[in-house]
């Protein structure tokens, strides 16, 4: 399984299986949690769909509803109920899509706390961690012909 025998076939089969899993997840996942812009573009098709919106921005707030903008490409939708924050705040929510409107019946929602704005710092540290991990791996496994030549040289 890990030998060099049929190496290309084994590596090719693994990559093909990975690609197949990705396509399968994309096709089946489309119906599980559709993108907001798709729901807004075809409201009747997605009537009753459960939505999870990881990041959204509150655009405007009314007495019994509020409007959010989310996704890429950005789409806007009215959400029933009191807003979890003020206009401009970032929120996350789950809910059920309703074609009349269209609107969103929220199930759970919350506004991100102020420390969410420090996310860039976590991203920067994460990139540094990856670079460190890759440098450490290279230190142990990188093929260095010059070093081998020096070590293998009986005069050296």
Partner 1 sequence: MADLLVHFASGFAAGRPLRDGRLRAILYLGVCLPDLLYKGLLYLGGAPNWLCEPTHSPLGLVLFCYAAAMLFEEEWRKRAFAALLAGAYLHVLFDLGKNYLGAGVILWAFPFSMETVELGWYYPEDTIAFMLPALGVILLVELVGGLATRFSGPRPAAP
Nearest to partner 1 of 73, 100 (CB atom): 73
CB of 101 to partner 1, least distance (A): 22
Least distance between partner 1 and beta carbon 137 (Å): 5
Q: Which of 56, 59, 97, 64 lies closest to 81 in space, CA to CA?
A: 64
Query: What's the N-to-C CA distance of the chain in angstroms?
Result: 39
Count of CB atoms situated within 10 Å of the CB of 34: 17
Q: Which is nearer to partner 1, 21 or 147 (CB)?
A: 21
Q: How far is the CB of 89 from partner 1 (least distance, A)?
A: 14
Residues that bind partner 1 (CB under 8 A): 2-4, 7, 10-11, 14-15, 17-18, 21-26, 28-30, 32-33, 52, 54, 92-94, 107-110, 112-113, 115-116, 118-119, 121-123, 125-127, 129-130, 133-134, 136-137, 139-141
DSSP assignments along 52-93, one per residue: EEEEEEEEEE-SSEEEEEETTTTEEEEEES--SS-TT-EEEE
């Amino acid at each position: 399984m890990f030998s060099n025998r049929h190496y290309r076939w084994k590596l090719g089969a693994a990559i093909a299986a990975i690609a197949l899993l990705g396509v399968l997840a994309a096709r089946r996942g489309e119906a599980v949690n559709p993108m907001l812009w798709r729901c807004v573009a075809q409201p009747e098709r997605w009537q009753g769909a459960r939505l999870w919106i990881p990041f959204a921005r509150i655009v405007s707030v009314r007495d019994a509803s509020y409007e959010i903008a989310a996704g890429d490409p950005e789409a806007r939708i009215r959400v029933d109920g009191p807003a979890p924050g003020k206009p401009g705040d970032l929120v996350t929510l789950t809910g059920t899509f309703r074609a009349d409107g269209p609107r969103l019946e929220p199930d759970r929602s919350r506004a991100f706390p102020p420390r969410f704005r420090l996310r860039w710092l976590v991203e920067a540290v994460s990139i540094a961690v990856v670079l460190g991990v890759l440098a450490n791996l290279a230190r142990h496994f990188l093929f260095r012909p010059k070093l081998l030549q020096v070590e293998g040289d009986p005069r050296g």
